[in-house]
């Protein structure tokens, strides 16, 4: 099955290959402004939809998969940090607490479309300022929602997860495989 992956994320590009090797990577260039009133899961699903629709005209006959992952601490959405200070503040806020990671996924082929999302709960250890600084010094945090990557050294901050690990990395591959089979 040939899949068009509408994502620039190297992690998603790796993960989709668990489902199929026949992948064309075509990152979208679209306005990712979030509509007012959306929260958590709704934001992730909305962003995945606009990414998929942005590449739809180029690939009418192929299956398009688009995704977006967000980190939520309560009602606050923690995006990619803009600075070292921003990363520090995000990681400080996650310290010793449980947060939700939502990945919204949209599958499109022609006029048919399916959107779903997956939630994983992640709990961090209590982190000292030194631990946070040490992690930030890896520079791993700057292109990741919530300022950490569970698949790298950010995994050392995580006490436990409840749900799909791959969802936190950026693509819930087991659920996506089933949705593609039913699509």
**What are the beta bridge partners of residue 118?**
103
Is the pLDDT at 1 greater than 80, yes or no? no
- CATH code, residues 3-182: 3.90.950.10
Residues in CB range of 94: below 8 A, 6 or more apart:
73, 78, 124, 127, 146, 147, 148, 157
Task: Write the pLDDT tens digit of every residue in 74-126.
Answer: 989 998 999 999 999 999 999 999 999 999 999 999 889 999 999 999 999 99
Cβ–Cβ < 8 Å for 49, 28: no
Is the pLDDT at 140 greater than 90, yes or no? yes
Residues in CB range of 141: below 8 A, 6 or more apart:
81, 87, 91, 135, 147, 148, 149, 154
**Rounded mean pLDDT of the chain?**
93
Q: What percent of the chain has pLDDT over 90?
A: 79
- The ranges assigned to domains in the chain are 3-182
Active-site annotation, residues? 68
Q: How much is the average pLDDT of 156-170?
A: 97
């Amino acid at each position: 099955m040939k899949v068009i992956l509408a994502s620039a994320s190297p992690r998603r590009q790796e993960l989709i290959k668990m489902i199929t090797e026949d992948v064309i990577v075509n990152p979208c260039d679209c306005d990712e402004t979030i509509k007012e009133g959306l929260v958590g899961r709704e934001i992730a699903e909305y962003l995945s939809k606009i990414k998929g629709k942005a590449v739809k005209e180029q690939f009418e006959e192929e299956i398009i998969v688009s995704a977006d992952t967000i980190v939520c601490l309560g009602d606050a959405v923690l995006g990619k940090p803009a600075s070292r200070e921003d990363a520090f503040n995000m990681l400080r806020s996650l310290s010793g607490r449980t947060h939700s990671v939502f990945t919204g996924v949209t599958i499109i082929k022609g006029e048919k479309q399916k959107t779903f999302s997956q939630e994983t709960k992640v709990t961090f250890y209590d982190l000292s300022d030194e631990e946070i600084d040490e992690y930030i010094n890896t520079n791993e945090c700057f292109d990741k929602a919530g300022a950490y990557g569970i698949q790298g050294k950010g995994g050392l901050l995580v006490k436990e997860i409840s749900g799909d690990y791959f969802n936190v990395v950026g693509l819930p591959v087991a659920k996506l495989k089933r949705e593609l089979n039913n699509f």
